[in-house]
Amino acid sequence: MRPIVLTLAGSDPSAGAGIQADIKTIEACGGFATSAVTAITVQDGQQLSRCEPLPADLVRDQARAVLSQLPVAAVKSGMLGTGEVVCEVARLLRTHRPEHYVCDPVLRAGSGRSLLNSGALELLREELLPLATLVTPNIPELEALTDRDVPDLAAARHAAWQLLDGGVPAVLVKGGHLKAERGIDLLITADLERRFDGEWIENGETHGTGCAYSAAIATYLACGRGLEDAIRHGKELVIRAIRYRMPAGGPAGLADPFGAPPAASHGGAG
């Protein structure tokens, strides 16, 4: 039986990011995807024009319907939207205790618009992050969570340790925003530090890479892989998702977890 993975995230109609991207990624990695929608957005892969968080009790009841009936092996969260939702998710995790929880602390859209309301950041730090198997911030998210500048990998290491000192078990810093060290991710736990190098693909902005990465890691953990192995395979998936992305107009593209090279053309008999 495929392991069941639950994602809690916002809906993205372009399906490049958000809950649609999570579902595709979970299935691409061999899991059975279940979901609880936290918000409805209007976006097209380049611009977010509207975001409506759902009531916390509605998010809770969606997730509880899955967790109370199905043997969920891993939970992944992305955009949560409000402090009330953050608290409900924390209560659900404490009650149902899934073996793995991957928290992608989505704070802003690529356009810069906030996706977490005022006052919720502290709740995220205190209530949710310590419950995670792994937290996967990008550089702007790491800066917001630690209230410090992170210009390079050395600073990222110190910021990650700040989160560990606050009770987070493991942090994977995604280095895509680092100018001099692009494509390098850093895993920090109390017992180890690992650097994951990867190919940097210059093809413009790709929407949804963080969602795919965290969903892939959660699924590989649910499949029984160790943390480092799950990250390594998740990074390989994201590189493919970027390389073979879905065009979205101009320089933008949508991460495609099923991305693959175009089939070779074969000439037919004349």
Which are the catalytic amino acids?
174, 206, 208-211
Q: Check if the beta carbon of residue 171 is closer than 8 Å to that of residue 137.
A: yes
Q: CA separation (Å) from 70 to 5, 74, 264?
A: 10, 11, 42
- Alpha-carbon gap, residue 147 to 45, rounded angstroms: 28
- Alpha-carbon gap, residue 170 to 125, rounded angstroms: 13
In a 3-state reduction of DSSP, which class is residue 129? Answer: helix
Token pair, residue 190, equals 């109390």
What is the strand order of the sheet 253-254 is part of?
206-207, 253-254, 246-247
Q: What are phi and psi of 171, to 5 degrees?
A: -130, 130
Pick from 252, 246, 222: which is nearest to 234 by CA?
222
